[in-house]
Amino acid sequence: MGSSSGINPLWIGVVVLAGLIVAQLGRSWGDGAEADTVSAQVGGLVSQVGDYGMMTVDRGSDDLLVLVLDQRREQILTYLLANQRSVELRGVENLRELFTRARDQFSGRR
């Protein structure tokens, strides 16, 4: 399932992986200042509830990207919050397919 929104799916994978790393580091460090510092360095808010993880990414204007990791369905959903007024689904990626494409692209296969 590709995305026609102009957002490279591999970058979505990179951002989600960074979010998962931050979430894991936050669990390891607890609620201390170190976890807040790591989260701030990534540049977004990361949270997890049950089978869902969420990360926000500032696009440099009033727009935010919200990446939702659905662990149950193994999907990443990308939403655009435009001017803090509207929410638009920009893409849905299957994680297995995303990482298969990344591996194939890295190894030179297409």
Q: In what order do the strands lie in the sheet with 86-94?
A: 46-49, 52-58, 64-70, 75-82, 86-94
pLDDT tens-digit series, residues 41-78? 455 677 778 888 888 877 767 778 888 888 899 998 88
Please tell me the pTM assigned to this model. 0.56
- Supply the pLDDT for residue 30: 47
Highest mean pLDDT among 24-28, 33-37, 83-87: 83-87
**Alpha helix stretches (DSSP H) within the chain:** 9-29, 33-42, 95-106
Enumerate long-range contacts of 102-109, CB under 8 Å, 24 or more apart. Answer: 102/10, 102/13, 105/10
1 alpha carbon, distance to own chain's centre: 17
- Supply the pLDDT for residue 73: 93
pLDDT band of residue 107 (cuts 50, 70, 90) is: confident
Residues 64, 58: contact at Cβ < 8 Å? yes
Mean pLDDT in the chain? Answer: 72
pLDDT band of residue 1 (cuts 50, 70, 90) is: very low
